[in-house]
Amino acid sequence: MTGRPVVERAVGTGGRVSELVIETHGLRKEFRDRRGLHVAVHGLDLAVPAGGVHGFLGPNGSGKTTTIRMLLGLARATRGRMRLFDHEVPQHLPDVVDRVGAVVESPKFSPNLTGRRNLLLLSRSIGVPDTQVDAALETVGLVGRDADRYRAYSLGMKQRLAIAATLLKQPQLLILDEPTNGLDPAGIREIRETIRDLGEQGVTVLLSSHILAEVQQVCTSATIIGRGRMLASGHVDELLDAGTPSHRVAVDDPARAGALLAAAGLPATTDDDGRLRVESDDPAAITRALAAGEVWLTELTPLRRDLESVFLELTAGEALGEEGAR
Ligand SMILES: Nc1ncnc2c1ncn2[C@@H]1O[C@H](COP(=O)(O)OP(=O)(O)OP(=O)(O)O)[C@@H](O)[C@H]1O
């Protein structure tokens, strides 16, 4: 890996220029096992701007955890370059490690101690003042439950305590690998709110996930990967605008409507509830095609694309078998 004299910059929507907190260039990770060579990360160029929450999205097995482990010096890259806060890593990780918090694997807390006691032990071992414990508990919304023993915590509370532990050092970058894994909807909501608050407080958060619905609500920007390769990256609004616009249409006779639309060059699929999803941003063309066959609309709604449909479109066929990534 070689050093570079200039700071890379990313240009977002509207010409906004922002410093990059995380960069990778041509990052590659190969694993060798008895079945041969397995490429988990395939020349990945990642650019995470400072501030806000950046989604790192991909199907299971697409290389998210492996990438994060390389960034944190927990796994060695086969090839490529990585920078955190403009420092080459892993060589200069000691220079930036105090600015980075990460929840990658479940941290070890003592089950018989309270949440607060666990954090106090940790804060003293890393030499930060006890007041940081109060601040961290406050940020993750555990005030009021901090005197409960860890073993009595719900999964969501355990995950929030793990995030609180990383906040003791007041990191500028927080890396969270699938933080909502195994949580119920209430737990997911709690973590989502915590992450959103952190982003609003100016912490840059890299949030890896394969669950899109909740990510869309907190991320300002995102990178979507499949088979260890970048598929798309940018502000969430840009990603949403990149796909095919569509309309939802309700009619009495969906089958006939589908045929009329197809004949007019407007592809449509039928949803579970019998309504049609027409791939077109032209409501007049849809109305015209149906009226020509005397099919009358009872609903015509423009559909805002969601990150989930963009993700599914981009990662179609990316669900990985072991062979897929070889
Ligand atoms: N230590 C290892 N040895 C061999 N293969 C590995 C190792 N770690 C990961 N892999 C493989 O690398 C690929 C990427 O795995 P990784 O855990 O990075 O994906 P992921 O996107 O984080 O998936 P998930 O969403 O399931 O956590 C997978 O095919 C996985 O089996």
Q: How far apart are CA 120 and CA 147, in angstroms?
A: 12
Nearest one of 112, 103, 98, 82 to 4, comparing CA atoms: 82
Give the pLDDT band of residue 87 (cuts 50, 70, 90): very high
Whole-number Å distance, alpha carbon 228 to ligand 1 midpoint, is 10
Q: Locate the ligand 1 atom nearest the alpha carbon of residue 33 and give its number.
A: 4
User: Do 295 and 219 share a structural domain?
Assistant: no
Out of 24, 35, 38, 230, mutate this one to test ligand 1's pocket (max ligand atoms within 8 Å of CB): namely 38
Q: What is the rounded distance in angstroms from the CA atom of residue 202 to the CA atom of residue 139?
A: 13
- 208 and 263 both lie in a single domain: no
pLDDT tens track for 12-27: 434 444 589 999 999 9
Q: By alpha-carbon position, which residue is closest to atom 25 of ligand 1?
A: 60
Q: What is the pLDDT of residue 243?
A: 65
User: How confident is the model over 233-244, as a mean pLDDT?
Assistant: 78
- Of all atoms in ligand 1, which is nearest to the CA of residue 58? 21
Q: Output the domain CATH number for residue 267.
A: 3.30.70.100
Which residue, among 1, 89, 12, has the nearest Cα to 48 in the 3D structure? 12
Question: Which contiguous run of DSSP H or E holds residue 48?
Answer: strand 36-49
Name the pLDDT band for 149 (thresholds 50, 70, 90): very high
Residue 148 lies in a domain: no
Whether residue 51 is contained in a domain is answered as yes
Supply 242's token pair: 């990149």
Q: Could you tell me if the ipTM is greater than 0.90?
A: yes
- Residue bearing the CA closest to ligand 1, atom 30: 61
Task: Let me know whether 182 and 220 are in one domain.
Answer: yes
Ligand 1 centroid to 325 CA: how many Å? 10
Residue 57 has pLDDT above 60, yes or no: yes
234 and 251: one domain?
A: no
Q: Is the CB of 62 under 6 A from ligand 1?
A: yes
Residue 172 sits in the same domain as residue 253: no
Residue 140 inside a domain? The answer is: no
Of 75, 69, 67, the residue nearest 229 (C-alpha): 67
Instruction: Please report the atom of ligand 1 found closest to the CA of residue 29.
Output: 12
Ligand 1 atom 6: residue of nearest CA = 31
The residue range of the domain holding 262 is 244-303
Same domain, 206 and 279: no
Residues 223 and 258 in one domain: no
**Domain tally for the chain?**
2
Residue 134 forms part of a structural domain: no
Please tell me the distance between residue 309's alpha carbon and the centre of ligand 1 in angstroms. Answer: 24
